[in-house]
Structure 1
Amino acid sequence: MLRWSTILIFFVTLFLGDDAIPQTPTAKEIIQKSDEKSRGRTSQGEMVMTVIRPDWSRSVTIKSWEKGDKLTMLLVTAPAKDKGQVFLKIKTDMWNWVPSIEKMVKIPPSMMMQAWMGSDFTNDDLVKESSIVKDYTHRLVGKDTVRSQLCYRIELTPLPSAAVTWGKVLMWVTVGDYLQWKAEFYDEDGELVNVMNASAVRRMGDREIPTRLEIVPVGKRGHKTVIDIRSTVFNQPMEDAFFSQQNMKRLSQSTR
């Protein structure tokens, strides 16, 4: 029986070729698929960011619009003291409209590693100035089980020419579904800075994605930031003209 099974496998492989044997995607293909899964061609939605500290916590409600990896708009709708702030990214440029002083502030690249609105996310995390597909090399290290999910473990190293904020990123992407399930962010000295975990997979629009992202800074007990995605729709028509400084002011006024 074993001999005939071996012969059968040989002929199936001969006639069907490589398609008969599941092929492991390359590290870059895995990252690209996971990026496309989380972004789509366009996306728009609403999320709540909760900043947790040992003695206090605060929540911020945000509406978001994104087109590809070059255009992002974020509008803060709550609480009252932050309502109306708008953040815009066009390619590698980022601006912040501050309604309380009616001033447009350009955020320089040197500030992309700074905390976003007092959270554990950086400016770069929120507007995704750097591209995990284009700005890094990718190496498939192996597979791990992370919180009951079998994942590819991939090491991302920045290209010499890339203006990125991290010295290295380790990312765990679920096998089959290509969900970005866990990530570790290291500085240029190789020290672990932040750990991000995704959870609460739900259907949003035409796909299932994690709807909770939790980031914990290393060495800071009682500190973490949680993003809960309330709603997201993907691949709806969105004009480039929407992403403008003029529209930042219009969106800000809509919250009054």
Structure 2
Amino acid sequence: MVVMMNGFRVVIIVLCAVLMSSFSAFAQKGLDVREIVDKVDKLYRSDTSRSEVEMTVVSEHWERTFTMNIWTEGMDRTFIYITGPRKDAGISTLRIGSEMWNYLPKINKVMKVPPSMMMSSWMGSDFTNDDLVKESSMIKDYNLRFITPADAETDNYYIELIPKKDIPIVWTKIILIVRKKDYIPIEQSYFDEKGRKMRIMTFSEIKKFGSRSLPSVLEMRPLNKPKKKTVIRYKDLGFDVKLKPDVFTLRNLQKKR
């Protein structure tokens, strides 16, 4: 009887060890997906930043390239100043929280962007006004999980992001592809309420800006317009820079430079 009891205890201990090991692995997996997405989320973010950017908008019949300077503070303040081409120089955009204003120098007027225009294109690009305003946190606003698509590559993580309840986000699902070796994003796909893939953003040309290595080229392609795309190139990018106190003000929109 003693032998049987001792044997029973051994079995119980082994089973407990297996269960705890399985639970630990599951918990670690959940932790890992948050860590990975958090790294991607913070890749281009800091307390403050200043960047020089080139944006090329390509359509079936024309192509336009803009140059601009961009300042940010945290997640809710952005100021964009168009420096070229000459006919567009001076156009500027200010975002504070969920509010947004544009300044048009040709008519010398500041215009607040109404809610009805938030899904409209910004400067004719494949990024909307809503894209500039909705600085959502992937960690806070989405439920995350690893997935394994049929065409998955072993060198990458594939992560599904579903908006949490009551979070006002246009896209009902995002699929994020991240390199395993350095957590650099490769691709981000956006799906509508019918489950259709509507646009894809790709990340390429990794460069070092200060102490950070990150993709310097972002390309957005709407899948319902196969001959259209917008390419953003970071020419320079500084993090945690000192900014003037009046950068994120309506007065700064009209300031001559």
Tell me the distance in 2 between the aligned counterparts of 1:111 and 1:130.
Answer: 19
Is residue 153 from structure 1 mapped to residue 154 from structure 2 by the alignment? Answer: no
Q: TM-score, normalised by structure 1?
A: 0.81
Query: Is the 1:196–1:215 Cα contact (8 Å) retained in structure 2?
Result: yes
Cα offset, 1:194, TM superposition: 0.5
The whole-number CA distance in structure 1 between the counterparts of 2:131 and 2:239 is 20
2:48 paired with 1:42: yes
Contact 2:98/2:134 (CA < 8 Å) preserved in 1? no
Residue 124 of structure 1, CA deviation: 2.9
Equivalent-residue separation in structure 1 for 2:73 and 2:155 (angstroms): 30
Asked whether the 8 Å contact 1:206–1:233 carries over to 2, the reply is: no
Could you tell me which amino acid in structure 1 is paired with residue 235 of structure 2? Answer: R
Listed as ranges, the gaps of 5+ residues in structure 2 are: 1-24
Match of 1:184 in 2: 189
Gap runs ≥5 in structure 1: 1-20
- The structure having more radius of gyration, on CA atoms, is 2
CA shift in 2, pair 1:112/1:138, >3 Å: farther
Aligned to 1:236: 241
Amino acid at match of 1:170: I
Query: Which residue number in structure 1 is paired with residue 211 of structure 2?
Result: 206
Letter in 1 for 2:202: N
CA contact (8 A) 2:220 2:231 kept: yes
- TM-score by structure 2 length? 0.81
Structure 2 distance, partners of 1:32, 1:239, is 29
Q: Distance in 2 between matches of 1:242 and 1:87?
A: 11
State the identity %: 38
Distance 1:120 1:79, change over 3 A: same
1:69 counterpart = 2:100: no
Aligned residues: 229
Correspondence for 1:5: none
Distance 1:171 1:111, change over 3 A: farther
1:45 partner letter: S
Output the aligned Cα RMSD.
2.3
Closer/same/farther in 2, CA of residues 171 and 240 from structure 1, 3 Å limit = farther
Q: What is the CA distance between 1:239 and its match in structure 2?
A: 5.8
1:82-122 deviations in whole A, cap 9, x for unaligned?
11111111111111111112222112344332211111122
> Contact 1:217–1:223 (CA<8 Å) still a contact in 2?
yes
Structure 2 contact 56–231 (Cα < 8 Å) conserved: yes
* Pairing partner for 2:105 from 99, 102, 123: 99
Q: Distance in 1 between matches of 2:136 and 2:100?
A: 12
* 8 Å CA contact 1:202, 1:208 repeated in 2: yes
Q: Is the 8 A contact 2:99 2:133 kept in 1?
A: no
SS in 2 for 1:34: helix
Q: Tell me which of 174, 177, 197 is aligned to 1:172.
A: 177
Change in CA separation of 1:237 and 1:87 when aligned onto 2, cut-off 3 Å: same
